[in-house]
Amino acid sequence: MERIKKALDDARAMREQALRDAGAVPRFDAATELRIRELVPLRELPAAQRDAAIAHGQVFGLPAGTLVFAAGEVNEHAHFLLEGAVQYTDGERGAWLLGAEEPDALLPLDEPGPQRWTLTVQQAARIFRVPRAWLDPAGAPAPAAEIER
């Protein structure tokens, strides 16, 4: 059990290093922003909240073999596939691939709470990551102008 825990910790550390090395792209080109605006639930949000969510998001370029998240992990971000392909794996159903051109790629790659699977980049990918709080119309942080003093 300790070996498994250490392996997961090592994989998380490698993933965080890859994300740091890749660096967040602070601004998006027009094609990337158009793709992000098509993602569910971003496209369903009010315009002001959608724009704020996009502004709080980051795009990462990740090479094949990079761990995006592991089964059992919990994080505060939702991840979306913009380009490339990823592989889901779990102990019961095996593995399956998702390419950015598939309709399911418009949905988040992960769910709130503990993850049921491990997600690994199979073909160099670009991932959009946004704090999950910005995706819930009822739970999004209020813009500073709307906070009562």
Measured torsion, CA atoms of residues 121, 122, 124, 127, in degrees rounded to the nearest 10: -30
User: What average pLDDT is seen over the chain?
Assistant: 86
pTM here is: 0.77
Distance in angstroms (rounded) separating the CA atoms of residues 32 and 144: 27
pLDDT at 141: 62
Distance in angstroms (rounded) separating the CA atoms of residues 54 and 33: 8
pLDDT at 146: 45
- pLDDT tens track for 127-139: 999 999 999 887 5
pLDDT at 149: 31
Kindly report the backbone phi and psi dihedral angles of residue 130, in degrees, each rounded to the nearest multiple of 5, phi listed first: -135, 140
Diameter over CA atoms, the chain: 53
Q: What is the percent of the chain where pLDDT is above 90?
A: 64
- pLDDT tens track for 53-103: 999 999 999 999 999 999 999 989 999 999 999 999 987 778 999 999 999
Residue 134's CB is within 10 A of a number of other CB atoms, namely 23
pLDDT at 72: 93
- pLDDT tens track for 12-30: 777 666 665 655 444 688 8
pLDDT at 25: 44
